[in-house]
Amino acid sequence: MTKLEKKILEKVYRLETKKTISQIISQLSGWLIFILLSYFFVSVFLEEVFQFKTWEVLESITDDFELFRNYFFETAYIIYEETPKEILFLAIVSLIIVILFTLTFIKNFGKIRNKLTVLGKYWRERK
């Protein structure tokens, strides 16, 4: 291999190292941020859901199946009305983003692993 070819490859490896590291860092931090956000939104949502007054009504009517069947739609509507929609929306969006991040990571896992192996080998040999 000529000196010029070595120089070219070194530049390529440097470029790829920077690119891969920044890609891993940005993906991981994005993933972590959205995991924390979805945890926060889901916990706030669940906290509000558990405070619903509808549960008490629901408890009393579920004892009697006939009563439950008659008032099913009314109860469902009340639950829907009481649901904090904004937080539910944010929780769903952040969960979808987490899923997308995870799928992208799974899809690119082989590629990133190959890159890291090659880069590790190159920099170890250079030392």
Partner 1 sequence: MAELLDKDIIRKIKNGEIDYYSYIVKKYTTLIYRYIKIKLFKKDETDDLVQNVFISFYKAIEKFDEERPIKPYLFQIVQNELKMYFRSRKETVSLDESIKTTDDEKISLPSDDIEGLLKILPIEQKQALKLLSEGYSYEEIANSLKKPLNTVRTIIRRARLKMIKNYDKT
Of 8 and 32, which has the nearer Cβ to partner 1?
A: 8
Q: What are 123's two structure tokens?
A: 């920099």
Of 40 and 105, which has the nearer Cβ to partner 1?
A: 105
Q: What are 102's two structure tokens?
A: 């995870």
8 Å CB contact between 53 and 127: no
Least Å distance, CB 102 to partner 1, is 19
Q: Would you state the torsion angle of the CA atoms of residues 47, 49, 55, 58, taken in this order, to the nearest 10 degrees?
A: -150
What gap in Å lies between CA 13 and CA 123, rounded to an integer?
9
Of 66 and 125, which has the nearer Cβ to partner 1?
A: 125
Of 57 and 119, which has the nearer Cβ to partner 1?
A: 119
Q: How many helices (H) and strands (E) does the chain have?
A: 5, 0
Helix (H, G, I), strand (E, B), or coil: what is residue 68? helix
List residues binding partner 1 (CB under 8 A): 1-2, 4-5, 7-9, 11-13, 15-16, 110-115, 118-119, 121-122
Least Å distance, CB 100 to partner 1, is 20
Least Å distance, CB 26 to partner 1, is 17
Least Å distance, CB 108 to partner 1, is 9
